[in-house]
Amino acid sequence: MQAVVNTSYNMELVVLSYAISMTGAFMALVSARRLLPENYDPQTYKLGLLSSGIALGGIGVWSMHFIAMLAVRMDMGVGYSVWETGISLIAAIGISAMAFHIVARDPRSIARLLTAGTMLGMGAVVMHYLGMYGMRFGGYFQWDYARIGVSVLIALVAATAALWLAFNTTQTSVRLIAAAIMAIAVCAMHYTGMSAAEFICTAPVEKRLAIPAGADVVSALGLPMVVVALAFGMSLYLILDMVRAWFHHQDTKPAHS
């Protein structure tokens, strides 16, 4: 027996997903300044690249995605595959870092911006749909491919804009506004992608609420702990890296006589 699953959203978690995305975007904008040619230092560049990838890919996109998934309410048991969830995190960070690297080599190159924007946008799309593919439940997805196309378009435009903003914002107030705009775009891509999926339950009524079990499956009840732990760890790394970068900057300042 097949039945369409009714879904709704917990608005508090929707707002939290936006706040997390904005936080990641802001940290990425701050970290990206260390990638500019005039600030080049091999060690600083590598750490800045890693921090930018973690901030935007790991927090701004990945953590936002799974907090947003927790915001979905449905009368069906849901679990998440450890493999797809983990791979989606690695992909989000790696692709984000590579996109920043491409633009950083020549921030004024439109060709590089468009290439990296396409890469970053498709990386966000892969992360989103891989994360959804990793969902385990008694049924399957029914997709609206037109809406998937819209979500891809949003991701491409948002990613290109994000990279431009990363290398063209200097004041903290401007970065905050830019991060807010970037977070709106990331959330728009996510929730458009979610609206493209219809959950079809094929499980018997008595097993509908059963959470899929398995050694490589995290239940929807355990997912918050996983996401919070990883998001906290990534945020702690970013804060420590920014503190290290600040002290490094102070040490390399020319002395005034």
The model's pTM is 0.91
Average pLDDT (41-52) is 88
Q: How far apart are CA 252 and CA 230, in angstroms?
A: 33
pLDDT at 252: 61
Contacts of 213 (CB under 8 A, 6+ apart): 79
With 0-12 / 13-18 / 19 or more C-beta atoms within 10 angstroms meaning exposed / middle / buried, residue 3 is middle
Mean local confidence (pLDDT), 40-60: 89
Would you say the C-alpha torsion 38, 42, 47, 52 has a positive or negative sign? positive
Check if the beta carbon of residue 106 is closer than 8 Å to that of residue 116: no
Tell me: the pLDDT tens digits for 68-113?
999 999 889 899 999 999 999 999 999 999 999 999 989 889 999 9
- Continuous H helices in the chain: 11-32, 42-53, 64-70, 82-104, 110-133, 145-166, 172-195, 223-251
| Residue (of 199, 249, 234, 256) closest to 50 by Cα position | 234
244: helix, strand or coil:
helix
Residues paired with 58 in a beta bridge: none
186-223 tens-digit pLDDT: 999 999 999 999 999 998 888 888 888 888 898 887 88
Using a 10 angstrom Cβ sphere, with 0-12 exposed, 13-18 middle and 19 or more buried, the burial of residue 33 is: middle
* Residue (of 195, 71, 91, 85) closest to 136 by Cα position: 85
Quote the pLDDT of residue 257: 44
